[in-house]
Structures are given as structure tokens and as C-alpha cells.
Chains A and B, each alone.
Chain A
């Protein structure tokens, strides 16, 4: 088992602290920056974005609407306004291209909480974790879409959804919602590793399905340099996505992380001292496959 207290030391030594935390810092800037855009209106009177992640209007012109919540509303029988449909189209297109779960790692405020729980788990050496299927989230997604059809009370999921609750809570007032967020934190810390985001969250599951064919992916381009330190597996919130790309060399499998479970968070890129990973396109494989083969032949020749 690898020493989690030493995690990232190699990367910091070879790349420096900043480069070893580059995407983590950028993600936090993105998450807090988005919150700041929504908060500058109510707090400072400078109106940039109105609304919240469910639906918003930027600079009085750009509508953005969450497709998961609008789908639930439509299932309960509503015909949305054109602005909502335009907003949904923009969001769908964006995440379809950059990767659905980019929402999870670059936008969602709950990610900050669950990352904290995950970090504490490593620091405290908590390894015990309940066995939950990662497919549970798809069942949860089904549930959120079924409830508007059968239950009284319309969009039932939005009564308890920690994702929208946290963002809306910060922008509009959260009340006792902090208890729900604390619940998610404690669940991830004490009950199941990456329990919420990686196993249960139906919002993540929705964006996961949306990003099935996304163009931006993390690639294990330099996988021949891997020294099996295993640190990427430890920091990754969806470690099952790494192996096919990182260890697929012998079977000539693509070095592109193709699983849409991957949140494109870039922690593997940061943590790797050997520069194995980088962001790239889904179809970068054709090019890289030939280069790795070239390298292979070159290696054989020398």
C-alpha cells in the first residue's frame, strides 16, 4: 500500500508545488469564480449573472439552463419558454464537447466538500469504505426522472438535491441546508470513499451520460514513463477509468481515458512526477498510437 502522507512529494520535487497543483488551483478558481459571478449582484450590486445553476441569465443576454432539472420539469408536464430551451441547448453542447463531468469537477460546489472529505480520508488514513455499486447513480438518475411522473409535489428531487441546494443556498440563503451538505461530507469521510460524487449523485450520472462522446479527454500520452507509483489511482475520484488507458500498452489500447466516469479534473496530471498524463482530444489516439509504435520500434532497433 502506498504511503498517503507522502502523496505528491515526487511531483512537487520534480515540477514544483505550483505545477503539481496547477489544475487543482484552476478548478477551485473556476468553482469559486462562478460563485463570485452570481454573488457580485446581491452582495455588491454589480449584476453579472442572475439566478443560479438551475437557470441563469448572464449580462441580461445569455441564458443557461440545467438540462437535468429542466428534464424533470418537462416530465411533470411543463412547456418551457424559448429562453430555457436555448439555455439548455448551450449547456448540452458545451458539456457534450468538453466532457459532461467537467460540471462535477470544475463547476459543482459540492465537489469542494467531497474533495475535502477525500483529502481528510488520506490524511487520517481512513481506509474503511462501504461497498456501493458505482451504478447506483444511474438508478438514482432513473428515480429523479420517475418521481415527477408518479409523486405529488412535482420536481421531488430538487427538494433535497445537495448540488442545487448548496449553490442556491450560497446565493439566496441556505437555512438548514448546511446539514445536508454536512451529511454529504460525513458520508464521504466515514461511510464510503467518493460515496456521493462517485456512486450516488444523479446529477453527475446525467452529465456522465451526456459526456459519453466528449472531445476533451485526459490522455496517458507518456504512459511508457509510468513508474507504477500508483499515486494517480489514489487521488483519482474515479480510479477505475485510469487502468485501461495507462496499462493498455501491450494490448495496443488507446492511451485516451475514454470512460465518461472521468471528471476531467486533472489531478492525475498534477500528481504524476513522470508527466504521463495530459489533456488532449478523444481522437488523439491515432497519432499517439503511431508514435508509441515508432518508439517501440526505435527501442527494438537500438
Chain B
């Protein structure tokens, strides 16, 4: 092997060695970043994205952290996540309790977004689903104590649809009604006006990201009465009639009558109504 060949060989080795070293270092940085990103991509429950925000995973890929939505919000409720906060760095959010979305009809924040991280196909603010309001604490909500409040119901910008009042009997007083606020997920935009308006020290109604707030039925699940109403008839085979293997002249009633012996008077010595028995003494004088 000549000298120059050996030198070339060494250079090639050095070159490959250096390249591997760099690639390895950068690979480790990448691994760290990837793991950090995974941890950093989980949002705290009280952090709500602006209207039209894509599902969180897509949003983090689409949002370029420019803050134009923050600037165009006329109510200045939006903030960008700062380093050290639990919100992914630079992404926009609002906190319902301190600054809820005022539901502008022209949705300026969405219009400002250059990347469709806030989806421009959202044209009606009432169609947005920023989160979902939940009456999280029935113990402190004063409506459950039978007191009149209904502030969340009245402040709701989609009044009467997103939150309704469910009238229930007040068993404590025995003569009043409870006006229970009930949130309907199909109409609720998650604007958070109800959470800010809640009169308690800590709001009993709170807005959460929808995936935290919403349950989901098993997909196989069918509600019989709804299916029946939809089809116009029962979709299940009617129950087979019960047949009891009893002696002749004897029947059995499943609905409460019990054993019935034909020909025997159905009248019992005592009526089903206890008042009849009590009154009978007065009505019929003993012979």
C-alpha cells in the first residue's frame, strides 16, 4: 500500500468516524426531543384552545406559534404558552375562569391563522367545539340545594340549548323545585362564559377539553326505546307466554295476583286499601 493510499484510507476512516459521531449526537438530541415532545403534548385540563382548533395532535403539527390569533382577539383572552408552563411552548390558549371566549360572530382569531391550525372552514361560531362545560361539583352548586341561581343558564350565549334547567322535586322541603343545570354537548361550544359567571369561589361548572369531558357509549350499544321509536315497532321478538304446569282449575299470575284457584272468590277478607278495613268498623255495626 503506497503512502497516499494509506492517507486516503485514513481520511476515509476519519470521515466516516466523524460522520457517525455527528449522526449519533444528533440522533440522541432527536430522541430527547421526541420524548420531550410526547410529554409536552398533553394539555392541562383548564387550558382551552381557540375556536376551530384542530384535534390536539393535528393542531400541534399545524400551529406555527406566530401569535396572530392572539393579536386579532378583540377581548385579549388568548395567550401563547411560555417555556416552563404546561402548555406546549408558543401555542395559543385561554383559561375560561379568567377570560372566556366571547364568541365573536366574525371569528377574527380563525381568520388570522395562516396555517389552518384554526380551521377556516368554521364559519358559524356556534358550530365550534372548543371544549365542553360540565357541572363538575353537584355538592357545591347551589341549584342542587334548592336555591335559585341559574346564572350559567342565563349567561350562556346559546341560551336554552347548550344549558337547560331540569326541574326536579325538592325532597328536603317537600314542596319546592330544584332547577338543575344540564349541559348538552351537541350545542355547547365550550366558550367558558358559564365557568367565569359561576358565583361560587371555585366554579361548580367548568369547561374541559372535550375528550376529557365526554363519555362514549360502546358502539354495540342500542337504546331499545329509541330504536323502537325509530323503527315504529319493537325490533325484538315478543316474549313467549309463560305456561305453568299446574293442576286443572289453577292459574298463576306473574304480575302480582299469584296463585288463582278457579271458582274461588277472588275477594279476600281484607281489601288492598287499609282505609277500607279501618272504616269497616264504623260502617257496619256488629250484629
Q: How far is the CA of A183 from the CA of B182 in the complex (A)?
A: 51
Determine, out of B68-76, B188-196, B203-211, B244-252, the stretch whose residues face the partner at the interface: B68-76
Residues of chain B contacted by A55 (CB below 8 angstroms): 64, 66, 68, 114-115
Asked if B22 and A165 make an inter-chain contact with CB atoms under 8 angstroms apart, the answer reads: no
Known contacts A172-B67, A175-B84; A157 and B33 CB within 8 A of each other: yes
Q: How far is the CA of A147 from the CA of B84 in the complex (A)?
A: 22
Q: Is B137 an interface residue (CB 8 A)?
A: no
Residues of chain B contacted by A70 (CB below 8 angstroms): 64, 115
CB distance from B51 to the nearest CB of A (A): 16
CB distance from A132 to the nearest CB of B (A): 8
Asked if B61 and A159 make an inter-chain contact with CB atoms under 8 angstroms apart, the answer reads: no
CB distance from B110 to the nearest CB of A (A): 10
Residues of chain B contacted by A281 (CB below 8 angstroms): none
Kindly count the residue-residue contacts between A and B in the assembled complex, taking CB atoms under 8 Å apart.
Answer: 178
Residues of chain A contacted by B57 (CB below 8 angstroms): 152-154
Q: How far is the CA of A79 from the CA of B54 in the complex (A)?
A: 12
Residues of chain B contacted by A146 (CB below 8 angstroms): 30
B interface, over-half SS: helix
Residues of chain B contacted by A57 (CB below 8 angstroms): 68, 112
Q: Which of A146-204 contact B (CB under 8 A)?
A: 146-148, 150-160, 164-165, 168-169, 171-177, 179-180
Q: How far is the CA of A55 from the CA of B84 in the complex (A)?
A: 23
Residues of chain B contacted by A169 (CB below 8 angstroms): 82-83
Q: Is A120 an interface residue (CB 8 A)?
A: no
CB distance from A251 to the nearest CB of B (A): 22
Q: Closest chain B residue to A142 by CB distance?
A: B26
Q: How far is the CA of A21 from the CA of B163 in the complex (A)?
A: 66
Determine, out of A29-37, A46-54, A106-114, A294-302, the stretch whose residues face the partner at the interface: A46-54
Residues of chain A contacted by B63 (CB below 8 angstroms): 73, 154-155
Determine, out of A133-141, A224-232, A252-260, A263-271, the stretch whose residues face the partner at the interface: A133-141
Q: Is A87 an interface residue (CB 8 A)?
A: yes
Asked if A51 and B22 make an inter-chain contact with CB atoms under 8 angstroms apart, the answer reads: no
Known contacts A133-B22, A176-B82; A143 and B65 CB within 8 A of each other: no
Known contacts A70-B64, A133-B18, A172-B80; A153 and B115 CB within 8 A of each other: no
Q: Is B165 an interface residue (CB 8 A)?
A: no
Count of chain A residues near B, Cβ 8 A: 58
Known contacts A57-B68, A158-B89; A65 and B58 CB within 8 A of each other: no
Asked if B70 and A172 make an inter-chain contact with CB atoms under 8 angstroms apart, the answer reads: yes
Q: Is B184 an interface residue (CB 8 A)?
A: no
Q: How far is the CA of A52 from the CA of B67 in the complex (A)?
A: 7
Q: Closest chain B residue to A84 by CB distance?
A: B114
Chain A proximity mask over B24-53: 1 for CB below 8 Å, otherwise 0: 011001100110111011000000000000
Q: How far is the CA of A77 from the CA of B58 in the complex (A)?
A: 8
CB distance from B239 to the nearest CB of A (A): 52
Chain B proximity mask over A60-85: 1 for CB below 8 Å, otherwise 0: 00010110011011001111110110
Q: Is B131 an interface residue (CB 8 A)?
A: no
Asked if A77 and B90 make an inter-chain contact with CB atoms under 8 angstroms apart, the answer reads: no
Q: Of A66, A76, A173, which contacts B80 at CB under 8 A?
A: A173
Known contacts A151-B38, A156-B33; A177 and B82 CB within 8 A of each other: yes
In this complex, the member of A65, A140, A164, A172 whose beta carbon has the largest number of chain B beta carbons within 10 angstroms is A172
Q: Is A56 an interface residue (CB 8 A)?
A: yes
Q: Is A16 an interface residue (CB 8 A)?
A: no
Q: Is A41 an interface residue (CB 8 A)?
A: yes
Q: Of A77, A140, A171, which contacts B67 at CB under 8 A?
A: A171
Asked if B38 and A152 make an inter-chain contact with CB atoms under 8 angstroms apart, the answer reads: yes
Known contacts A153-B41, A164-B90; A175 and B83 CB within 8 A of each other: yes
Q: Is B116 an interface residue (CB 8 A)?
A: yes
Q: Is B62 an interface residue (CB 8 A)?
A: yes
Q: Closest chain A residue to B60 by CB distance?
A: A154
Known contacts A56-B66, A73-B62, A81-B116; A173 and B82 CB within 8 A of each other: yes
Q: Is B59 an interface residue (CB 8 A)?
A: yes
Q: How far is the CA of A280 from the CA of B116 in the complex (A)?
A: 41
Q: Is B107 an interface residue (CB 8 A)?
A: no
Q: How far is the CA of A165 from the CA of B80 in the complex (A)?
A: 11
Residues of chain A contacted by B90 (CB below 8 angstroms): 54, 158-159, 164-165, 168, 172
Q: Is B241 an interface residue (CB 8 A)?
A: no
27 residue pairs bridging A and B, Cβ less than 8 Å apart: A52-B66, A54-B66, A73-B62, A73-B63, A73-B117, A76-B60, A77-B58, A80-B116, A81-B113, A81-B120, A84-B114, A133-B18, A143-B26, A143-B29, A147-B34, A147-B37, A151-B37, A151-B38, A152-B34, A153-B34, A158-B65, A159-B36, A169-B83, A172-B90, A174-B82, A175-B82, A175-B85
A-B interface, 3 closest residue pairs, ranked by CB to CB distance from nearest: A175-B82, A76-B61, A154-B61
